[in-house]
Chains A and B, each alone.
Chain A
């Protein structure tokens, strides 16, 4: 199944950061972004591509390790795709669809 993209070959997504991650993204929780429907190698854009894309284009902070580690989101971040655990959706390999909602939550330990 190929990534659903619009006529211009772009996918429109909503990404949301919470649990402190918003600090890495201009202190803004919700972002509407548009990214290419296929990755660097011409393959359909996946969640892994989205994470790379966010790191390179949306994240201004220099501390990339606060968001990614070993090529995927760092430990302690939960990712939900349309409110469902991304592990159930294939994780990194999930292929992006138009209007998907990605929710990144960094876990907290305070009490």
Chain B
């Protein structure tokens, strides 16, 4: 074997020498013509011989030491060797540049490096030799140096060129210093040398020598040991085991949305040691997020969610790779992004994104972990698992469209801002997502399931049998019409598909007034105007405009006429009102109040009489307050709670 190596080495490390030898022999031939040239040729040959000797010695040293490594390697039993290869592969992939497990190798290679630098011309060949040998050590293909790696060679030349460019500028600076007799010269010389050393090492992809030396070898566990320590408690679970941990280490998980679901999911997956964690979100942290979005602190308000999350996650586990996508995901971008991952987590908060994420997961054939939460309730599903359309997979799991072929109208869907949400409720769902992602990575055959969580129910967790593979699904069946091309073209309007926005534009302009106008009316003629707040009682109790009356919009929806009756009854108790007061409507942001006033104006009572006659008074229906409670707080009364 050693013999082989030697033959190899001479064959590949000396193309330049062979060429020079060829030109030397032609020089011998020319000697008949000129004896002077003979002398020159002899000198050149002598210097070539010396150079070759130096190179051969260095290469033999390198070869002998690396061969020793190979022999060591082969003594290890099969299993340990497989494990070691896996872990060594990870070390090389680790972009942070980790401490090599065997400092010995590092020391020896460093020594060789320093020598290699002194024989600059043969460096490209030497580099090629070391790299290809290391590839073989790492379980790569082929014999050492059997095929010259042209791209590696080119890369080497380019690196050397850039080093030489810098050396030239260093030289200019040092020449100037030399001419001035500057004392700085010595320092610059050292600096230049150090820079060259660092640049060449960077190019050889060897860890910094200093870092290796500074650590006490005995007190610091090796990279591998620290990994066993970190993941040991989950690795010794039969569900995970060594193989499962390796699968996790190699896995790539994408988290779309870093809100109440995404934060805990990302935290647990980072800690579990997935290989790559992709983070997508275009939002910044708001104070109202803090009660449930566990990666953010008070000081982060106003900062990018993705960048803040990245910082926190790195503190939890610095040894995994993170990809940051600091933007709102669109249907056009989704397929290309999903291609790079193994599992997708949908942690978004809008119906339209739920649909396009499912569609993109189908066209890229990725399992999708889906959850949502609102108020005291959460829902969870694993979709597209096993992924679709692989050889007409009969066991293909349903996609989001199989279960919800038609979107619900926006007025039926409430957001966390409107309905509120409890931190632990959304947290539970996010953690279930992380668990399911781990299962998908380590035991990919787990069956799809659907679960709902009702925090205040006697039976908080409920498993549902939702076997709804739709044979006519537009996204994932054989009859599908949603294709990757269509998705990427951007021609699918998911907002439109989901019914766009709720139409709040139900009043004439003269039926609306600003908070300042409203305040002026109330102050100038308090007997003639009254303000009705249509938020629900819980919100009304948190804070309300002084003197306003609460009539929840749900009461009006239940029956506008009955709502008017309730209103009349309530207002009857107001002693300060005059004979014919006007009723104005306010809500949180100025949307529901418009719908409420519309309902009332359309009620039978108002349509027939034009006014609400109740008790001693006749009430006129007035206006809606633009911007609602929120605008009132901002413009009139900053002491009102900003909940």
**Is B554 in contact with A61, judged by CB distance below 8 angstroms?**
yes
Is B558 within 8 A of A65, CB to CB? no
A 50-81 contacts with B by CB, 8 A = 60-63, 65-66, 74-78, 80
Q: Are A18 and B452 in contact (CB under 8 A)?
A: yes
Residues of A within 8 A of B261 (CB): 111
Interchain CB contact under 8 A, B467 and A108:
no
With A75-B406, A75-B408, A85-B468 as contacts: A110 and B372 at CB distance below 8 Å:
yes
CB-CB under 8 A from B378, the residues of chain A are 108
A9 at the interface (CB under 8 A from B): no
Provide the residues of chain A in CB contact with B411, threshold 8 Å: 66
| A62–B465 CB distance below 8 A | no
Nearest-Cβ distance from residue B595 to partner chain A, whole angstroms: 10
Q: Say which residue of A65, A77, A84, A107 sits within 8 Å of B372 (CB atoms).
A: A107
Enumerate chain A interface residues (CB-CB to B < 8 A). Answer: 18-20, 23, 29, 60-63, 65-66, 74-78, 80, 83-85, 87-88, 105-111
**Structural contact, A76 and B464, CB atoms closer than 8 A:** no
Q: Which residues of B contact A106 (CB under 8 A)?
A: 408, 412
Residues of chain B with a CB closer than 8 A to A75's CB: 404-409
Query: How near does chain A come to B568, taking the closest CB pair, in angstroms?
Result: 19
Q: How many residues of B contact A (CB 8 A)?
A: 50
Looking at the assembled complex, report how far the CB atom of A45 sits from the nearest CB atom of chain B, in whole angstroms.
24
Among A83, A85, A87, A111, the residue within 8 A (CB) of B373 is: A111
Q: Report Cα–Cα, A65/B557, bound state, in Å.
A: 12
Give the tally of cross-chain contacts (CB within 8 A).
Answer: 108
Q: How far is the CB of B345 from chain A (nearest CB, A)?
A: 10
Distance between Cα atoms of A57 and B479 in the complex (Å): 41
Asked if B379 and A108 make an inter-chain contact with CB atoms under 8 angstroms apart, the answer reads yes
A residues in contact with B557, CB < 8 Å: 61-63
Choice from B407, B426, B454 contacting A110 with Cβ under 8 Å: B426
A77→B413 CA distance, assembly (Å): 11
Inter-chain contacts of A107 with B (CB < 8 A): 372, 379, 404, 408
Decide if B262 is an interface residue (CB 8 Å cutoff). Answer: yes
The answer to whether B407 and A76 have CB atoms under 8 Å apart is yes
Distance A31 CA – B348 CA, assembled complex (angstroms): 33
Q: Taking the nearest CB of chain A, how far is it from the CB of B88, in angstroms?
A: 40
Whether the pair B464, A80 counts as a contact (CB closer than 8 A) is yes
Tell me the bound Cα distance from A1 to B606 in angstroms.
50
A110 touches B349 (CB 8 A): yes
Give 25 A-B contacts (CB < 8 Å), ordered by A residue.
A18-B377, A19-B379, A66-B412, A74-B408, A74-B412, A75-B406, A76-B404, A76-B412, A78-B464, A83-B464, A85-B464, A85-B465, A105-B452, A107-B404, A108-B373, A108-B374, A108-B413, A109-B349, A109-B374, A109-B415, A110-B372, A110-B374, A110-B426, A111-B372, A111-B373
**Cα separation A35 to B413 with both chains bound (whole Å):** 30
Q: B409 contacts which of A29, A61, A74, A78 (Cβ < 8 Å)?
A: A74
Q: In the assembled complex, which residues on chain A have CB atoms less than 8 Å from the CB atom of B627?
A: none
B278 at the interface (CB under 8 A from A): no
Q: Which of B262, B405, B412 makes the CB contact (< 8 A) with A111?
A: B262
Does any Cβ of A come within 8 Å of B439's Cβ?
no
